[in-house]
Amino acid sequence: MHYPDHFDVIVVGGGHAGTEAAAAAARMGARTLLLTQSIETIGQMSCNPAIGGIGKSHLVAEIDALDGLMARATDRAGIHFKVLNASKGPAVRATRAQADRALYRNAIRDLLEHQDNLHIFQQSVVDFVVENGVIRGVETQMGLTFSCATVVLTTGTFLGGKVHIGTENHPGGRAGDAPSIALAERLRALPFRVGRLKTGTPPRIDGRTVDFSRLDVQAGDEPRPVMSALGSADEHPRQVVCHITRTNPATHDVIQANLERSAMYSGAIEGVGPRYCPSIEDKVVRFADKTNHQIFIEPEGLNTTELYPNGISTSLPFDVQLKFVRSIEGFENAHISRPGYAIEYDFFDPRDLKHSLETRAVEGLYFAGQINGTTGYEEAGAQGLLAGINAARKVQGRAPWEPRRDEAYIGVLVDDLINLGTNEPYRMFTSRAEFRLRLRQDNADQRLTELGIAMGVVGAERASRFRDKMSALETLHGRIAATQVVPGSPLAGALGVDLNRHTDLAAVLRRPEVTAAELRAAFADATAALVDQALIETKYAGYIARQDEEIAKIRRHEGMSLPASLDYGVIDGLSNELKQKLTHNQPATLAKAARIPGMTPAALSLLLVHARKEATL
């Protein structure tokens, strides 16, 4: 049957990318359909039950600044919040929350079900309708066809998924779900380059069988941070503690003795796993001199006793898993509730995408999330948001939004993927961002919300809260600029500084020893968050100005478009390698060409001259 209604945007997949994509498109007024294998698993956290972390909470804040779901859902589902890097500077400070899986799913589903313009339908997608290289619709398992203008594909690890436990393996998606084999075959027939990646999970453990009295306790932070700019700690459910334990030489002996039975080491796995998330067998082999490895025990939720022992992901057979788990302090009598496993899955080379996340091969088809070779809920959500926005913009006849590297971690993420591709599941780190000092969690709204309002992806409530904040911040900056600190005055006392002459407050604030606590005391009438913000901006002003110059140089190149008619093959003076990369990437601007690895200033000069010549002809 052909479904009678036409959709602007169809999102395939109900994970973190899919839900953000669907919600963003719908917020922008696009008639949106979310197709998922199972409505029950919408918003499922299929790996560890935590949101945020260094670099990742930066992405969450950016999603939030554009009125996305992840931060708001985390504030409703978070059962343990921590600020990371609290002792370091604000640019690298991050928030991490442990979330109750069920509460998180409920929060996401609730937000989606209350979203105008958004419909949800439970069916597996098995095929696309493509006419003359343009997407026209999708077909589901039961033969139902939907027509639409754009499709956002967010099938995560479901494509060609294969689960490994020891020497056994079977086709499968994450956490017991069915893989999308039919769709994988269909996609393999399209001109996309396909690669294979691998990731793993640890065995889950029943908390009733763990001796917590022997474990270190890690409590959440007080005052408790929030994820969303609209969030408050009052929304948070009951808070719980996490625990820490360690492997020991006995654990390592068990693993060493059974290495050949690990799917990883027997050669059964062809996919590449992440360097920053090694399996326990990998840790034991590669860092043999380390006598113990930390395990961070995360609660799966408030109403379950299941635990996620983060740090011992494995593809060893079940009997070995049980043996090494029981060698660990506190786990001596542990019952494993689900075995650990490694999963291999297909991903599509992100170099076949445009910066809008639209595929080069099929117009109107967007890829977002793990399908592009990334890992992590936050990375997936960020891409989903971007793809959803751009699918809606395409329907509106507008140019895509392509966030820049100096604007957002989303920009860094997409730019890295599209220029460099990836050969391991790509994860965000702050060290990937050359404009790290600007791309802070605390100013994500200042970087993106105004733009989001203009694009129509930000709702009225957030827009008004944002404008209130900005005007209050401006007032506060004005007060700071107008204030001099008099030696021996109460203000000097509150700031804890010893001055010998009248000094501008801004200059005093730039001293490393002056911290937010002192300034809050001095401006007791402003909110703490606002004072913190003003202080950060004052302290960083010099560095930001320096980066602004660098960015101005880059933007100069951004304005220089490279015509599609440019034939890189005939440009003398370009190396063959660069000719190939340029021909393949077809950078739209000189700035994008500059990001291609191996590009030299002389080569850029050549492109500039040839582009100008081409334009003059």
Partner 1 sequence: MSRGGVQQDLIAAVATPPGQGGIGVVRLSGPGARDVGEALCGCELTPRRATFAAFRDGEDVLDEGIALYFAEPASFTGEDVVELQCHGSPVVMQQLLDAACARGARLAGPGEFSERAFLNGKLDLAQAEAVADLIAATSVAAARAAVRSLRGEFSEVVHRLAETLAQLRMLVEACIDFPDEDVEFLEEADVGGQISALLRALEDLRGRSQQGQLVNEGIHVALIGPPNAGKSSLLNALAGEEAAIVTDVPGTTRDLLKVDLVLSGMPLRLIDTAGLRDSDDTVERIGIARAREQADVADLVIVVLDAALVDAAAIDAAVSALAPPQGPRRLVVMNKLDLIADPGPANVAEGVFWISARTGDGVERLKRAIVDAAGLSGAEIGFTARARHLESLDKAYDALQKADQQLRAGEATEIVAEELRDGHNALGEIVGTETPDDLLGRIFSEFCIGK
The residues that touch partner 1, with contacts defined as CB under 8 A, are 48, 54-55, 84-85, 88-92, 274-278, 283, 286-287, 290, 293-296, 310-311, 313, 420, 429-432, 434, 436-437, 512-513, 543, 552-553, 556, 560, 571-573, 597, 600-603, 605-606, 608-610, 612-613, 616-617
Distance CA 90, CA 536 (A): 7
Exposed/middle/buried for residue 162 (C-beta within 10 Å: 0-12, 13-18, 19+): buried
Q: Return the number of the residue (393 or 610) whose C-beta is nearest partner 1.
A: 610
Output b/e per residue, 369-380; b: 16+ Cβ within 10 A.
Answer: bbbbbbbbbbbb
CB of 48 to partner 1, least distance (A): 7
The C-alpha atoms of residue 68 and residue 384 are separated, in whole angstroms, by 10
Q: Nearer to partner 1 by C-beta: 228 or 310? A: 310
Say whether 150 sits in a helix, a strand or coil: strand
DSSP 3-state of 5: strand
- Max CA pair span of the chain: 83
The single-letter DSSP state of residue 524 is T
Cβ distance to partner 1 smaller for residue 6 or 546? 546
The answer to whether the CB of 105 falls within 8 A of the CB of 19 is no
Q: Which two tokens stand for residue 117?
A: 């313009």
* Nearest-approach distance from CB 560 to partner 1, in angstroms: 8
Q: How far is the CB of 432 from partner 1 (least distance, A)?
A: 5
Provide, rounded to whole angstroms, the least separation between the CB of residue 425 and partner 1: 11
CB of 210 to partner 1, least distance (A): 18
Q: For the CB of residue 494, give the shortest distance to partner 1 in the complex, in Å.
A: 20
User: CA angle at residue 322 from 320 to 328, to 5 degrees?
Assistant: 105
Give me the DSSP letters along 192-216: --EEEEEEEEPPEEEGGG--GGGSE
Rounded distance between C-alpha atoms, residue 564 and residue 61, angstroms: 36
Q: Write down the least CB distance from residue 589 to partner 1, Å.
A: 13
- Long-range CB contacts (within 8 A, 24+) of 357-362: 357/383, 357/386, 357/387, 357/390, 357/414, 358/387, 358/390, 358/394, 358/400, 359/192, 361/133, 361/190, 361/191, 361/192, 362/128, 362/130, 362/133, 362/134, 362/135, 362/190
Residue matched to tokens 């808070």: 239
DSSP letter for each residue of 421-480 = --SS-B---GGG-TTTTTS-STTHHHHHHHHHHHHT-S-HHHHHHHHHHHHHHHHHHHHH
β-pair partners for 206: 306
The span from the CA of 130 to the CA of 516, in Å, is 56
Using CA atoms, how far apart are residues 412 and 91, in angstroms rounded to an integer? 15
Distance CA 201, CA 45 (A): 12
Based on CB atoms, which residue is closest to partner 1, 436 or 469? 436
Nearer to partner 1, 85 or 489 (CB): 85
Find the shortest distance in angstroms from Cβ 537 to partner 1: 14
Q: Are strands 145-153 and 2-12 parallel, antiparallel or unpaired?
A: parallel
Nearer to partner 1, 12 or 54 (CB): 54
Please say which residue, 92 or 593, places its beta carbon nearer to partner 1.
92
Q: Which is nearer to partner 1, 10 or 412 (CB)?
A: 412
User: What is the token pair recorded at 573?
Assistant: 């003076």
- How many whole angstroms separate alpha carbon 133 and alpha carbon 143? 22
In this complex, which beta carbon is closest to partner 1, that of residue 431 or of residue 471? 431
Distance CA 613, CA 590 (A): 14
Q: What is the phi/psi pair of residue 336, to 5°?
A: -85, 125
Smallest gap from residue 599 Cβ to partner 1 (A):
11
Q: Min. distance of Cβ 597 from partner 1 in angstroms?
A: 7
Q: Which is nearer to partner 1, 92 or 227 (CB)?
A: 92
Distance CA 128, CA 138 (A): 4
Q: Which is nearer to partner 1, 251 or 359 (CB)?
A: 251
Of 435 and 523, the one with the shorter C-beta distance to partner 1 is 435
Least distance in Å: CB of 362 to partner 1? 29
Cβ proximity to partner 1: between 225 and 231 the closer is: 225
- Closer to partner 1 at the Cβ: 84 or 582? 84
Question: Cβ 35 to partner 1, closest distance in Å?
Answer: 33
The residue among 31 and 93 lying less far from partner 1, judged by its C-beta, is 93
* Least distance to partner 1, CB of residue 86, Å: 9
**Rounded-to-integer distance, Cα 595 and Cα 583, Å:** 14
> CB of 376: closest distance to partner 1 in angstroms?
12
Least CB distance from residue 287 to partner 1, whole Å? Answer: 4
CA distance 439 to 106: 31
